[in-house]
Structure 1
Amino acid sequence: MNTNISRRNFVKAGAVAGMGLGLAACGGNSGSSDGSSSDTIKIGLMGPYTGDVAQYGLACRYGAELYVKQVNSNGGINGKQIELDTQDEKGDATEAVNVYNKLVEDGVVGIIGDVTSTPTIAVAQASVKDNMPCVTPSATAADVISYGKNYFRACITDPYQGKLMADFAADQGYKTVGVIYNQGGDYEQGVADAFIEEAGKKGVTVSDSEGYPSGATDFNSQLTNIIATNPDAIFSPNYYQDDGKIVTQARKLGYTGVFMGADGWSNIVGGDEEYASAEDLEGCYYDCSFVSENEDEKVQDFIKAYKDEYNDTPSNFCALGYDAAMILLNAIETVEKDGKATYGSDDYKQAIVDAVASGTANGVTGDISYSGTGDPVKSTLIITFKGGAQEVFKTVEGK
């Protein structure tokens, strides 16, 4: 997944978080190792806030911090303020485990994070021994939730997206579809594999599947091979920087048909750069959990609050960070109101895990619940491009 938080606003928004949410409203970036005082509840917030994938971590962080600020402004939970212990893992799996261990030492009772899949898997493996309640906003790899019952995610998975878009292709009446994907990316490969498998089950023929190496900028060879099969549509489940070039190059080669994608398309328009023209994207489709064009009232309320806080429009990642915080804090509220478990104890953490598993969050990316695993049951949006703008084409309800 990706975020369209403006690059020029990263530094500005980070300063706001540090001066406002990170230090004042949320009680500071770190705390003593003896855990929470009697009037605070300490939770961890971790992600890549510097390094190559900082844009994703920062977007999730800003959304999570906004939700925590709102909770604290409304009196906190059971009269207690939420104290965020915020740690940067720099996009590195080893550093992520070090950060996790520090959060445990600091006495957090739950963690929002990690963000990208590889570090999150490392944290998930480490967290099992502590039964630490964790909610990742955005790690989509299937393995994330496979190590213990304590790990949950707010986002949909790579395999789910591939299946969803193959079903959508069948529903649209496409008989043949070409596939182009980054063969060096776990996300892209995972979505593409699931699409191809489900397409076969739905009677959709994959006319040609073409991989390309990470870092490629010229896709003409792969596209020429795909276009030669005369497909009804082309599935391009990559990140927006690649997808924009792919769509543009395909149009120059004469392909006028439909492109489909996954949530990596989320920044293809609307950010500081347009990665493909409105004309080239007209009538294309992709799936994601959130777009600012969604007219749902709770979505628009979130967008207003986010703009008021950061002077920027939130993206899919920002919304998922907000919802991950909501999921964890809703569960803590349930445990606090129940009052049977001693704060910070093993029973307290287990109660949080149980409350997440049995609860529902009315998130800005949809109503989120769980049914036996850490994968959410939630709705997903199919987005299309019309008249130079994005709009919600349909909502697919979770199962």
Structure 2
Amino acid sequence: MYFSKKTAKLMSLLAGTMLMGGVLAGCGGDNAASSDEIKIGANFEMTGNVANYGQATLDGLNLAIDEINAAGGVNGKKLKVISADNKSEAAEAVNAATKLISDDGVKVLVGPAVTANVIAESQVATDNKVPVIAPDATSPDVTVENGQVKPFIFRSCFIDPQQGTVMAKFASENLKAKTAVIYVDNSSDYSKSLGKVFKEEFEKAGGKVLMEEAFLAKDQDFKATLTSIKTANADVVFVPAYYEEVGKIVKQARELGITSPILGTDGWDDSKVADIAGVDALNNTYFSTHYSDKDESVKGFLEAFEKKYGHAPNVFAALGYDAGKLLADAIKRAGSDDSEKIRQAIEETKDLQVGTGIITMDPKTHNPIKQAVILQNKDGGRVMVAKIMPE
């Protein structure tokens, strides 16, 4: 969920001036005020290398909007989702945002899924005073730049540092760990950021990091490094990475006789981890994520999603659903389809029940204050072992 942003910034700057005249004509005026619809732009990765992220998030968003419209809409108006494919590219994310704002006259944007693509559209949205809700992008840079909050950019998921903090707290307090090894993907800013925060917080709690090691995405054989990690005999091993490498690391670690708990983050949240690692190898592993399918408070969402799409949702679908509920609530409280009033209402969100829990928006960072869930992999299933709120 965290990609390089160099291309993103360049493309958003190119698009800034191009929009101003057309957008003002497309989004305002008597026709917009008298419409019985409020247009929502969905800028997602529907093709390209992260299309699975974007399409799942869009499915969750569409479910939320369908439910809201079936219940009568918002302020007497229906919500209309207009989608645009950014092709999993930062430059195309700018083009998609441009089209949605200037041609389609949307009042708010939801998406994209990944960090670089959200940052790419940010300048365009800000220049035209159109609020953005990022459902999945976990980098702190999405909503804050040079210490200043971006006034029109929000997110509905928790951020990378929260996961690192949560897992350090869980290791120290719940597992009573005194020592740890950190094993990160050196090609992923997501993984390196989480490793850094975990180390800081674990040591702040009195723990000691005995060893820090790294691998690269698409590596296949981890045994040489894991053999070294085994000699450390740490209480826990922290592997903040994505499911493909995680599955292989866990499998090979157990084959080498590493029996200590292995910890991770939401990159683990995919059923393919078990397919790769094997059920037995995954025992005594834990990871942070956004919700548990065993939590009574999310069962309504899970049942509705399966009824609509014929399969269980993944975490991206859940976060898209959250974004839809957050947006509808803000529009209702705004009492208007005015983009500035919607922006203010999003910022003032407090104790809102969405699909994965309760959200309060932090006005200083535009990040939601929401709990993380710790799941344990056990005998082929997942058991919720903790809910941890950020401090």
Interval containing the TM-score (normalised by the shorter chain): 0.7 to 0.9
Q: 1:159 aligns with which of 158, 161, 174?
A: 161
C-alpha separation in 1, matches of 2:217 and 2:272: 22
Q: 1:125 and 1:201, CA in 2 relative to 1: closer, same or farther beyond 3 A?
A: farther
C-alpha separation in 1, matches of 2:272 and 2:100: 37
2:330 corresponding residue in structure 1: 331
Instruction: Give the secondary-structure state (helix, strand or coil) at the position aligned to 2:209.
Output: strand
Q: 2:260 aligns with which of 257, 262, 265?
A: 257
1:86 corresponding residue in structure 2: 83
1:193 corresponding residue in structure 2: 196
For 2:198, the aligned partner's letter is F
Tell me by how many angstroms 1:268 deviates: 4.2
C-alpha separation in 2, matches of 1:198 and 1:34: 46
Q: 1:370 aligns with which of 361, 374, 390?
A: 361
Q: Is the 8 A contact 1:113 1:136 kept in 2?
A: yes
Deviations 1:18-64 (A, max 9, x none): xxxxxxxxxxxxxx956756110001011111111011111100000
Tell me by how many angstroms 1:269 deviates: 5.1
Instruction: Give the secondary-structure state (helix, strand or coil) at the position aligned to 1:108.
Output: coil
Instruction: Give the secondary-structure state (helix, strand or coil) at the position aligned to 1:138.
Output: coil
1:309 corresponding residue in structure 2: 308
Q: TM-score w.r.t. structure 2 length?
A: 0.87
C-alpha separation in 2, matches of 1:38 and 1:65: 21
Asked if 1:219 is matched to 2:189, the reply is no
Alignment of 1:224-263 (within 5 A): 224-263=227-266
For 1:356, the aligned partner's letter is I
Instruction: Give the secondary-structure state (helix, strand or coil) at the position aligned to 1:267.
Output: coil
Q: Is the 8 A contact 2:184 2:195 kept in 1?
A: yes
Q: Is the 8 A contact 2:27 2:101 kept in 1?
A: no
Tell me by how many angstroms 1:66 deviates: 0.3
For 2:366, the aligned partner's letter is G
Alignment of 1:284-299 (within 5 A): 284-292=285-293, 294-296=294-296, 298-299=297-298
Q: Is the 8 A contact 2:166 2:390 kept in 1?
A: no
Matched-pair identity in %:
34
Q: Is the 8 A contact 1:170 1:202 kept in 2?
A: yes
Q: Is the 8 A contact 1:241 1:268 kept in 2?
A: no
Instruction: Give the secondary-structure state (helix, strand or coil) at the position aligned to 1:234.
Output: strand
C-alpha separation in 1, matches of 2:390 and 2:308: 31
Tell me by how many angstroms 1:122 deviates: 1.5
Instruction: Give the secondary-structure state (helix, strand or coil) at the position aligned to 2:137.
Output: coil
Instruction: Give the secondary-structure state (helix, strand or coil) at the position aligned to 2:301.
Output: helix
Q: Is the 8 A contact 1:72 1:81 kept in 2?
A: yes
Asked if 1:396 is matched to 2:381, the reply is no
C-alpha separation in 1, matches of 2:276 and 2:323: 29
Query: Unpaired runs of 5+ in structure 1?
Result: 3-31
2:321 corresponding residue in structure 1: 322
For 2:334, the aligned partner's letter is V
Deviations 1:61-107 (A, max 9, x none): 00000001111111111221111110110111111011111111021
Tell me by how many angstroms 1:386 deviates: 2.3
Tell me by how many angstroms 1:145 deviates: 0.2
1:22 corresponding residue in structure 2: none
1:63 corresponding residue in structure 2: 60
For 1:162, the aligned partner's letter is G
Q: 2:112 aligns with which of 89, 111, 114?
A: 114
1:5 corresponding residue in structure 2: none
Instruction: Give the secondary-structure state (helix, strand or coil) at the position aligned to 1:135.
Output: strand
2:377 corresponding residue in structure 1: 385
For 1:228, the aligned partner's letter is T
Q: Is the 8 A contact 1:381 1:395 kept in 2?
A: yes
Q: 1:205 and 1:225, CA in 2 relative to 1: closer, same or farther beyond 3 A?
A: same
C-alpha separation in 1, matches of 2:348 and 2:163: 24
Tell me by how many angstroms 1:387 deviates: 3.0
For 1:369, the aligned partner's letter is T
For 2:261, the aligned partner's letter is V
Q: Is the 8 A contact 1:124 1:145 kept in 2?
A: no
Asked if 1:129 is matched to 2:127, the reply is yes
Q: TM-score w.r.t. structure 1 length?
A: 0.86
Query: Unpaired runs of 5+ in structure 2?
Result: 3-24
Q: Is the 8 A contact 1:291 1:315 kept in 2?
A: no
Q: Report how many residues are paired.
A: 357
Q: Is the 8 A contact 1:183 1:213 kept in 2?
A: yes
Instruction: Give the secondary-structure state (helix, strand or coil) at the position aligned to 1:314.
Output: coil
Asked if 1:355 is matched to 2:354, the reply is no
C-alpha separation in 2, matches of 1:220 and 1:267: 23
Q: Is the 8 A contact 2:284 2:377 kept in 1?
A: yes
C-alpha separation in 2, matches of 1:65 and 1:369: 22
Moved more, 124-133 or 221-230: 124-133
For 2:191, the aligned partner's letter is E
